[in-house]
Structure 1
Amino acid sequence: MCLTVTRRAEAADAVLALTLARPDGGPLPSWRPGAHVELLLGDGLVRHYSLCGDTADRSAWRIAVLRAPGSRGGSAYVHDKLHAGVPVRVRGPRENFAFRPAGRCLFVAGGIGITPLLPMVAAAEAAGVRWRLLYGGRSLASMAFLDELAVYGDAVRVVPQDRCGLPDLDGHLGTPEKGTLVYCCGPEAMLTAVEDRCRAWPPGTLRAERFHAAELPSPATESAFDVVLARSDLTLRVPPGRSILEVARAAGAPVLSSCAEGICGTCETGVLEGEPDHRDSVLGPGERESGETLMICVSRARGPRLVLDL
């Protein structure tokens, strides 16, 4: 769909908040906390940004974009070209990082990783869930939406690194407690640290969203395999070094993709037969174990054949 930028605001140093709406003022699709949208920025640039506004407001969507050092073009394009009144093509929303209430929720945000957690915090508060947020950043000036978080009082701990050092993850997470879910979004070092501390927790406790793909594990097998596209009536050979996505696209199959890194979920595809070799950063342990879907941009097959719902 084509939306229009209706408002730009500086949310923090190098962080731009954009409000997007339909040109005709009509309602936008509903979304839930943790959802993201894809901005099609021209010249093949597609970037994913979390929705961080009010889920009840269907007149507009809000995103926040950090101007990243060494940007590959996405954040610079948003900051430099998406002024008020400029149209932008948008896909979504998608819900790979969906929030579900629990007896207790512990949120951990690093820098711009606050964006998907902001509506989650609001949802937890509205549902009467016990929750706490640990929010780290380089400095107070670099940390977005502090004014909106201030209304929650002591439930939010803000840790600017230049004044306080690194966030105390051990103190925030504490010991495993039944009925707790941990939601984390931030830089890779923070995600890795939180993952390490949650290994002793029950499976499924941690839900995380990454800015970039985690280091891919080695494939279960280096061998070629066949992929059957059931709806397209095609059987294709996927050799070592090429992805299912690349092979399917070359054969003219109708496949959707965006990041090609296993982090956005756009290319998630149903598995009808065979055992996937999951190599993405989207699916949780239970979803991987079920083998019902895979990300065709990075994942492969553990056996000689996969049948996909394509």
Structure 2
Amino acid sequence: MVRAIEWVNAGTESHIRLLDQTLLPSEETYLEVDSSDVLIDAINRLAVRGAPALGAAGGYGVALALLEGSRKGWSAAETTAAIDAIALARPTAVNLAWGARRVESVAGGDFDRALAEAHAIAVEDEAANRKLSSLGADWLLARVGDRPLRAVTHCNTGALATTAWGTAYGILHELHNRGKLELVYVDETRPLLQGTRLTSWELKNDGINHVVEVDGAAASTILRGLVDFAVIGADRITANGDTANKVGSVALALACARAGIPFVVAAPYSTVDESTLTGDAIEIEERSDDEVLSFAGVRAAAEGVRAFNPAFDVTPHDLISAIVTEHGVVEADRAPQPLYPATSNG
């Protein structure tokens, strides 16, 4: 299984190793990240991405900042500033700040404690992903039918987006392992093509039958009855169940509601932001015009044309059939109750 992020122990030269996802699938190149600035750059340009993977990056980033500060003789204030910059590198994905703050609070400035807690986040994430994948597969087979199913998914939620296994992708993988997955429609996921470049790469490597479709075809695919359910990941889930995910997700939810098929969100509980009550309060990251107006480094639009490039959209909770975490499955009829573990059925 591919590891998108891991810590490499090398004494004072210890560092984070990242698989550079901007180069996939043509190149499998690993980045040796030895400073907070290099990590922030990798996060900003999506060399590492996906909410759970960003949680691990935030955690390991604290350890890296403490090690860097020790090497460079930073003051406590300088180290704190580096940690803050890592935590705030991308605003919509709650796991990044969650991972950084969790490790920072436990470490108390101690590198060894920071690294141990960051490792714990990585281990917990894989366990959570495997648990929620099993729960999600169980729910879908009970809800849709105990037969090979056809799915549509958006963006990338596999091992590349997590510390291991995957979230929404993990459910698909679990169904495949049970012989209950017929076909996956993979949205290309414009403008950076995470579906085409990353999800199809993982599905191919795992031997899972799939086709890539343009984003604009997804709603029609659903309304034509070509899929039995949609499953996506999440970058932030608010207390009432509203969910931020890669832009284009809410269009799938609307089509699923019209077609009467399940629209499922899968994420570890660390993605639930209890302090944000509704999706209206989520800050939506807006990225550069070039991502939309250029392709493979060549400008496709006329000079002077501007772009609107939100990286995420918010799906209201009443369009979501079920939210799956490692704690259980919360169905739509439970919303907008808070998504605390005690309310789950697992």
TM-score, with structure 2 as normaliser: 0.38
TM-score, with structure 1 as normaliser: 0.41
Task: Determine which structure has the larger helix proportion and give its number.
Answer: 2
